[in-house]
Structure 1
Amino acid sequence: MRVILAIDQGTTNSKAVLVCEQGEIVARGSAPVGISYPRPGWVEQDPRRLYASVCEAIDACLKAVPDVTIEAVAISNQRESVTAWDADTGEALGPVLSWQCRRTAQDCERLVAEGRLDRVQALTGLPLDPMFPGSKFRWLLDRVPTGRSVRLGTIDSWLVHCLTGGGRHVCDASNAARSQLFDLQQQRWSEELGEIFRVDTALLPEVLDSSANFGATQGLPGVPDGTPIRAAIGDSHAALFGHGAFKPGDGKITFGTGSSVMTTLPRFIAPSNGVTTTVAWRISGKPTFAFEGNILVSAASLPWMAGILGLPDVAALVDLAATAEPGGPGFVPAFVGLGAPYWNSDARALFSQINFSTTRAQMARSVTDSIAFQVHDVIAAMRAQSGGELGALYVDGGPSQNRFLMQCVSNLVEHAVIQCEAPEASALGAAYLAGLSLGLWNDLGVIAGLPRSKQVIAPERVDREALLNTWNDALARSTSRQTPAKGE
């Protein structure tokens, strides 16, 4: 069987899947990554453990279907997480600074105070927020021992470095577009942005198309040396591609630790209303642009609440939430501030409008509903800016398989969502890009026509105004936190 080995390197797990010529997943493997919180607001990972988890996932995947011929390797990866390593030895020179990490919040505030926001946003499509890597690269450089030859990179570039035995220092345009050092319209690293963030762009990887020649494997257990790496793309972008969301207005919501809402655009549109503009993918030198809204905490609030309520797992929490009518207390999951469309680092998680009659089921429901409310606000911001119609709206990621959660999303956005059977949309998207590079599939039309098991969830009538009033009240309380006076 001829297959593409697709790696999906995520925040909490690394996954590997084998995709056959019919575009279907024939084997899966996964391994945990590990994540640490050395200080409040700091989130990091070990780059060596991250790569080891990829090798473990590949091993588990290949054991499931041993008799295959791997035509190519494809990568999708967590975005906005970055690291540094020695160009000569390959030794990691710092941790992976996670996209969730807020350690450079003061640096971003300083840049805003210096009046840099408008220029950075005009060039990159991104706000000045510690989620994005510009300030993180500087933090890493400040801690590199003197005399070392440094390489800086996004996670796809670190993986390519490892997979090729240190042979290539490259990344794809979608990952570069999330770095805050990449000029979207010029499609190249920007010396001006390098000066703003005090980062030498010569240390960054070469930027390739998402479907391109990223090198060949060297020393990857279970995979023959010389196997070509033919695609790399950020995980959220890969999911959009995997769904075949190629028409302007088509979009997807990826649910995970956080959530990403992304819709394709007919052309570059400068961002506003709290959403960002990004490169969805680049093929044959031509970028496809997209709006995106990054929600910092989404499904990550579910296991937390399950623990608070003494429930065995997330499934039990969602089952309990489904027994409550909508309209109880409000909950804002601002554990690390709020991302799109609010971009408020000072917001804090809270419940609102609790009283003596509030039940455990209502508390559970307020947490599950917070996922849908945040998606609603991002899509409302996109609709306000684009002026166009929202097209097909796909959902993916583990939580997307829960009918109750997705019904809540459909109800609030007043638009059908398309639930796909395989939650590994990111891995599929990367595999399709590799297949496109190899000529396994001739064009986007062929990829869009590949068989996909889908279920459409149509919106039901709910009192949206009352629900949104409760949510907006909770948001106002979350974002109006005052700094305590000394001694308080």
Structure 2
Amino acid sequence: MRAILAIDQGTTNSKAILVSEAGAVISRGASPVGIYYPQPGWVEQDPKRIWQSVCEAVRACLDAGPDVSIEALAVSNQRESVTAWDAETGEPLGPVLSWQCRRTAPDCARLIDEGHLTRVQSITGLPLDPMFPGPKLRRLLDDAPKGRRLRLGTIDNWLIHCLTGGRVHACDASNAARSQLFDLRAQTWSDELCTLFGVSKEALPQVLDSAGDFGSTLGLPGVADGTPIRAAIGDSHAALFAHRAFNPGDGKVTFGTGSSVMTTLSGFIAPAGGITTTVAWRISGTPTFAFEGNILVSAASLPWMTEILGLPDVGALIDLAATAEPGGPGFVPAFVGLGAPHWDSEARALFSRINFSTTRAQMARAVTDSVALQVRDVFTAMQRQSRTGFGALYVDGGPSRNRFLMQCVADLLGHPIVQCEAPEASALGAAYLAGLSLGIWPDLAAISDLPGNNELIRPQASDNSEQLQTWHDAVARSTFRPSHAKGE
């Protein structure tokens, strides 16, 4: 049997799957990755541990699967996390600065005060927010030992370096588009932005198509040296590809630590109103663009509230939430600020409209609803700017398997959603791209024809005006700062 080995390196786990020529997942493996918080707002990971976890996930996948001929490797990865290493030895020269890390908030504020926001957005499609890597790359350069020739990169870049024994320094266009140094229109690194952020262009990787030639393996345990690496793509983009969202207006919501709402576009549209424009994927030199809204804290609030209420697991929390009617207290999960469409790094989490009669079930419902309400904010912002409106809207990620939560999403959006049996959507999308590159699937139509197991969830008519008013009031409170009111 011929198969593609796909790696999905995420924030908390590295996963590996084997995908058959029929597009089916025939084996899987996973390994955890640690996260470190050296001080409030700082989030780091160990690049060596990330590579080790990938090797462990691959080994577990291969041990669990049948004997196959691995035709190619594919990589999907957590985005906006960056690291640096020595160009000669491959030794990491610092930690991975996570996409969750807020240490560059002062740098972003300074650049905004200096008037750079509009120009950065017009070139990259991204706001000046600590989530994005431009200022982080500068921090890595400042903190690295002097006198060394550095390489800077996103996680796909680091993994390709490791997978090829250091022979290839490359990333794909979707990850480059999230770096804050990439000109979306020109599809090249921007000299202007490299100068603005103080990043050496020579340290950056070559940018290739998402379905491209990233060299071949050397030293990956369990995999023959010389196995081609034929795809790399950011995890959220990969999930969009796995859902075959190839028509303009098709989109998806990935639920995880944070959430990503994406919809494909018919061409480049400059972003406005709190969302970003990005490269969904690039094939044969042609980019497909997408709108995206990045929600910083989504399902991560569920285990937090589960522990506070003393419940056994997140499933019990959602079951408790289902016993309460919507429209009770409001909750904004701004633990590290608010992402799209608000982009307020100083916002803070809060409950609102609670009193002595507020019940545990209502508190659980407020936290559960916040997952859906944040998606609605992004969805609404995208609708205002889209030329096509929304078509099919797919959902993936662990929380997407909960029917009650997904019904809340459909109801609040007023739009049907497609619940997918695709827990490994990101890895699967990367595998599809590798198969496309190899000719296993000749075109996008062939990928669209692969079997899937989807369920349509239609919105149920309801008056949610009170719930929305509570939510909007709570968001306003979370972003309110008294000093602003005093004109200071």
TM-score, normalised relative to structure 1: 0.98
Any idea what SS the aligned residue of 1:320 has?
helix
CA distance in 2, matches of 1:141, 1:411: 47
Any idea what SS the aligned residue of 1:461 has?
coil
How far off its partner does 1:481 sit?
A: 3.0
CA distance in 2, matches of 1:304, 1:457: 27
CA deviation string 1:29-86 (max 9, x = no partner): 1111010111111111001001111111111111111411111000000000000000
CA distance in 1, matches of 2:190, 2:206: 13
How far off its partner does 1:396 sit?
A: 0.5
5 Å matches for 1:438-449?
438-449=438-449
5 Å matches for 1:30-109?
30-109=30-109
5 Å matches for 1:10-409?
10-409=10-409
CA distance in 2, matches of 1:201, 1:120: 17
- Unaligned runs of 5+ residues in structure 1 are none
For the structure 1 residues 484 and 458, does the alpha-carbon distance in structure 2 shift closer, same or farther, using more than 3 Å as the test? closer
How far off its partner does 1:386 sit?
A: 1.2
* Percentage of matched positions with identical amino acids: 73
Any idea what SS the aligned residue of 1:249 has?
coil
Q: In the alignment, residue 362 of structure 1 is paired with which amino acid? A: Q
CA distance in 1, matches of 2:79, 2:9: 10
How far off its partner does 1:462 sit?
A: 2.0
CA deviation string 1:339-363 (max 9, x = no partner): 0000001100000000111111110
Q: In the alignment, residue 57 of structure 1 is paired with which amino acid? A: A
How far off its partner does 1:466 sit?
A: 1.1
Q: In the alignment, residue 107 of structure 1 is paired with which amino acid? A: D
CA distance in 2, matches of 1:484, 1:384: 29
When structure 1 is superposed on structure 2, of 111-120 and 385-394 the one drifting more is 385-394
How far off its partner does 1:387 sit?
A: 3.9
Aligned length: 485
RMSD between aligned alpha carbons? 1.0
CA distance in 1, matches of 2:484, 2:91: 44
Any idea what SS the aligned residue of 2:291 has?
strand
Q: In the alignment, residue 404 of structure 2 is paired with which amino acid? A: F
CA distance in 1, matches of 2:387, 2:161: 42
CA distance in 2, matches of 1:6, 1:141: 31
Any idea what SS the aligned residue of 1:142 has?
helix
How far off its partner does 1:465 sit?
A: 1.1
Any idea what SS the aligned residue of 1:157 has?
helix
Q: In the alignment, residue 240 of structure 2 is paired with which amino acid? A: L
Contact persistence 2:327–2:464 (CA under 8 A) = no
How far off its partner does 1:389 sit?
A: 2.0
Contact persistence 2:132–2:178 (CA under 8 A) = yes
CA deviation string 1:392-451 (max 9, x = no partner): 000001111111111110000000110111221111100000000000000001101110
Is 1:420 paired with 2:420? Answer: yes
Q: In the alignment, residue 192 of structure 1 is paired with which amino acid? A: E
CA deviation string 1:239-287 (max 9, x = no partner): 0000000000000000100000000000000000100000000000000
CA distance in 2, matches of 1:191, 1:484: 36
For the structure 1 residues 286 and 140, does the alpha-carbon distance in structure 2 shift closer, same or farther, using more than 3 Å as the test? same
Q: In the alignment, residue 266 of structure 2 is paired with which amino acid? A: P
CA distance in 2, matches of 1:167, 1:429: 25
Any idea what SS the aligned residue of 2:3 has?
strand
Shift >4 Å, 4+ stretches: none
CA distance in 2, matches of 1:406, 1:325: 16
Any idea what SS the aligned residue of 1:73 has?
strand
CA distance in 2, matches of 1:267, 1:422: 28
How far off its partner does 1:483 sit?
A: 5.5
- Unaligned runs of 5+ residues in structure 2 are none
Contact persistence 1:295–1:340 (CA under 8 A) = yes
Any idea what SS the aligned residue of 1:459 has?
coil
CA distance in 2, matches of 1:162, 1:463: 53
Contact persistence 1:400–1:423 (CA under 8 A) = no
CA deviation string 1:349-383 (max 9, x = no partner): 00000011111111011001000000000010000
CA distance in 1, matches of 2:359, 2:17: 42
Q: In the alignment, residue 313 of structure 2 is paired with which amino acid? A: D
Q: In the alignment, residue 166 of structure 1 is paired with which amino acid? A: G
How far off its partner does 1:388 sit?
A: 2.3
CA distance in 2, matches of 1:3, 1:282: 23
CA distance in 1, matches of 2:463, 2:57: 45
CA distance in 2, matches of 1:323, 1:110: 47
When structure 1 is superposed on structure 2, of 313-322 and 277-286 the one drifting more is 313-322
Any idea what SS the aligned residue of 2:7 has?
strand
Q: In the alignment, residue 437 of structure 2 is paired with which amino acid? A: S
For the structure 1 residues 42 and 484, does the alpha-carbon distance in structure 2 shift closer, same or farther, using more than 3 Å as the test? farther
